[in-house]
Amino acid sequence: HREGDAVVALAERGRLLVVLGFPCDQFGHQNPDGDEETAAFCERNYGVTFPMFSVIEVNGDDAHPLYQWLKKEKGGLGPSSIKWNFTKFLVDPEGNVIKRYGSTTKPEKIASDIEKLLPA
């Protein structure tokens, strides 16, 4: 049983769900060198099967525009900065940021929120 099985199960049922991964090296410089190595590491250690993008910055002046927008919409957990790896955002099909989840929130805890957004 891997983390995220509930979320993966929703995607495998042919639902309208897209999971995207954006690696970042701003937290303890834990990111392996290179995009391909990062994707392989995440697949091997976390069972990641969704698209992984190039390494980006999520905080500071050079934060990627996507994360500038996500944090503006759902600053949520105290200051709007991302605190650690695996912070998650749920965005509905219309592009509204529905919820922000901290790094310790397991994917299984997000599945019910995703289910509410998907058509029956």
| Residuewise pLDDT in 10s, the chain (120 residues) | 455 566 666 665 556 678 888 988 888 776 657 788 888 888 888 888 888 888 899 998 899 999 998 988 876 554 578 888 888 999 988 889 999 998 899 888 888 898 888 776
Phi, psi dihedrals of residue 15, rounded to the nearest 5°: -75, 170
CATH fold of 5-117, please? Glutaredoxin (3.40.30)
Residue among 94, 52, 55 nearest 73 (CA): 94
Contact 50, 59 (CB under 8 A): no
Phi, psi dihedrals of residue 100, rounded to the nearest 5°: -115, 140
- Domain locations in the chain as residue ranges: 5-117
pLDDT at 29: 74
